[in-house]
Structure 1
Amino acid sequence: MSVESVKKFFEDNNLPLKVEETIGDTATVKSAAETWGIEEDEIAKTMGYKLKSGEYILILSKGTARLDNQKFKGIFKEKATMIPKDEVLEATGHPIGGVCPFGLKSPLKVYLDKTLKEFSIVYPAGGSDHSAVKINVDMLAEVTNGEWIDVCKDEEK
C-alpha cells in the first residue's frame, strides 16, 4: 500500500513526520484544501513528468500554480509531458491523487517550484487520495533533496 511506503520512508529515515489520513477526498487541490481546512495554495501539488530520455521527475508547487511551458523548456530543454496515467503507479509507487515525493518506488529527481517559498508549512499528499503530510518547506527540500526552480507561471497582479 502506498501510504505504508510513505510511513516506512519516514520511519527508516528517522523523520518526525506523520501521514494524516481522512475519509475526506484529497485527490485534487480543491478537495484536499476543503478536507484539511486550509487554503488551496498551502497544498504542495505534486506533478509528474516524463522526459524524452524516459526519466520520470516530480515537480512540486503551491496548489493553484500552473506550469509555464516556456520556463519548463528553458530548464529541461524539452516540452513538458505529464507521466501517462497508466504509468503513474509504476513510476512513483503512488496512485493518481496520492502522488508525493516520499516513499517512492524508486528514486526520482524532485524539483520544488519557488511558489512553495510563500509558505512555511505545506501539505503534500501522503501516498493516497485520502492523506496528506504537514511539513515545513525547508524540511521538504531537505527530505526530498529537492532542487529549487522557477517553472510556474507568474501570478498576474
Structure 2
Amino acid sequence: MSIESVKAHFRQWNREQDVMEFDTSSATVDLAAETIGVIPARIAKTLSFRGEGEKALLIVAAGDAKIDNKKFRHCFGFKARMLTPEEVLEQTGHAIGGVCPFGLKNELDVYLDVSMKRFDTLFPACGSTNSAIELTNEEIYRYSYAKEWVDVCKGWEDSEQEKKVG
C-alpha cells in the first residue's frame, strides 16, 4: 500500500504519526480542502509529467494553480505532457488521488512551484485517497528531496493582480 511507503518515508524524520487519515475522500483538491477545513489553494497537489527519457518529473503546486505550458517549456525545454493514471502508478507507486512526492517507487525529479510560497503551511496527500500531512514549504522541500523551486503555473496570481489593479 502506498500510504505505508509514505509513512516509512516520514519515519526517518519521526513524522509518520503526523500523517492524517480521513473517513472521507481527499482525492481531489476540493474534497481534500473540505475534509481538512482549509481553502483549496492550501492543498499541495502533485502533478506528474513525462520527463526526458523514460523518467517522470513531479511538480508540486498550490491547489488553485494550473500549469502554464509556455512557462513549463521555458523552464524544462520540452512540452508539458501529463502521465496517464497507469503511468503515474508505475512511476510513483501512488494512484491518482493520493499522488505525492514522498515514498516514491522510483527516484524522480521533484520541483516545487512558487505558487505555494504564499502559505505558511500546505497539505500534500500521503499516498492514498484519504490522507494528508500539514507541512511548511521548507519541510515539503526537504522531505520530497526537491531539486528546486520553479515558476511554471498560472491562475493563482489572478486575485493578487486584481487587488493591485483595483
> 1:136, 1:26 → 2: CA distance?
19
Q: Deviations over 1:89-146 (max 9, x none)?
A: 1110001100001100011111000011011110000100100011111111112221
Aligned residue identity for 2:153:
C
Match of 1:30 in 2: 30
> 1:39, 1:70 → 2: CA distance?
27
Runs of at least 5 residues in structure 2 that lack an aligned partner in the other structure: none
> 1:14, 1:145 → 2: CA distance?
13
Q: TM-score with structure 1 length normalisation?
A: 0.95
Percent same amino acid at aligned positions?
A: 45
Aligned residue identity for 2:51:
L
Contact 2:43 2:123 in 1 (8 A): yes
Tell me how many residue pairs correspond in the alignment.
156
> 1:110, 1:47 → 2: CA distance?
10
Match of 1:141 in 2: 141
Q: TM-score with structure 2 length normalisation?
A: 0.90
Deviation at 1:52, TM superposition (A): 4.2
Match of 1:40 in 2: 40
Match of 2:95 in 1: 95
Contact 2:85 2:95 in 1 (8 A): no
> 2:24, 2:144 → 1: CA distance?
26
Match of 2:8 in 1: 8
Deviation at 1:51, TM superposition (A): 2.1
Aligned residue identity for 1:16:
R
Contact 2:48 2:83 in 1 (8 A): yes
Match of 2:80 in 1: 80
Runs of at least 5 residues in structure 1 that lack an aligned partner in the other structure: none
More helix by share: 2
Q: Deviations over 1:58-116 (max 9, x none)?
A: 10111010110000000111110001122111110001100001100011111000011
